[in-house]
């Protein structure tokens, strides 16, 4: 059986990308771990990033759990959840689409739940 690849990604308006590839389904525990590590990296690279940054999320179920909201509050991360079917305004969705194309996935590893 081929491994399933999951991707969590953040990008900013300067073109920086922070990505995490896993071989497990993303849930609130995995997402919270990603948020914690992302905040650590941003704190190191750009102290004060919280003053000019808003984390936008597409509303996946694990984005809206009690655990995720608790982590976001603990990290003091400004957040906005996009409305349903807002893929055209989620910059990371364009990157996801590129990674799923054949040129960037020559082995055609599964990238979705189906």
pLDDT one-digit tens code per residue, 38-95 = 999 999 999 999 988 888 888 888 989 999 999 999 999 888 888 766 666 666 677 7
Kindly report the CA angle at 82 between 62 and 23, in degrees rounded to 5?
A: 35
Reported pTM: 0.78
Pairing of the two strands 17-22 and 6-11: antiparallel
**Which ranges of the chain does DSSP label H, i.e. alpha helix?**
28-45, 66-75, 91-100
Rounded to whole angstroms, the Cα distance separating 88 from 39 reads 25
What would the two tokens of residue 108 be?
Answer: 């055609």
Which pLDDT score, from 0 to 100, does residue 9 have?
Answer: 85
pLDDT at 101 over 80: no
φ, ψ for residue 100 (rounded to 5)?
-80, -20
Which pLDDT score, from 0 to 100, does residue 110 have?
Answer: 67
Which pLDDT score, from 0 to 100, does residue 22 have?
Answer: 84
Rounded to whole angstroms, the Cα distance separating 100 from 107 reads 11
């Amino acid at each position: 059986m081929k491994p399933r690849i999951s991707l969590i990604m953040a990008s900013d308006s300067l073109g920086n990308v922070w990505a995490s590839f896993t071989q497990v389904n993303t849930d609130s525990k995995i997402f919270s771990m990603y948020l914690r590590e992302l905040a650590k990296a941003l704190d190191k690279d750009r102290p004060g990033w919280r003053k000019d940054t808003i984390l936008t999320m597409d509303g996946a179920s694990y984005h809206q759990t009690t655990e995720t909201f608790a982590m976001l509050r603990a990290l003091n991360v400004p957040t906005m959840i996009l409305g349903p079917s807002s893929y055209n305004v989620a910059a990371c969705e364009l990157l996801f689409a590129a990674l799923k194309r054949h040129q960037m996935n020559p082995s055609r590893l599964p990238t979705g739940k189906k």
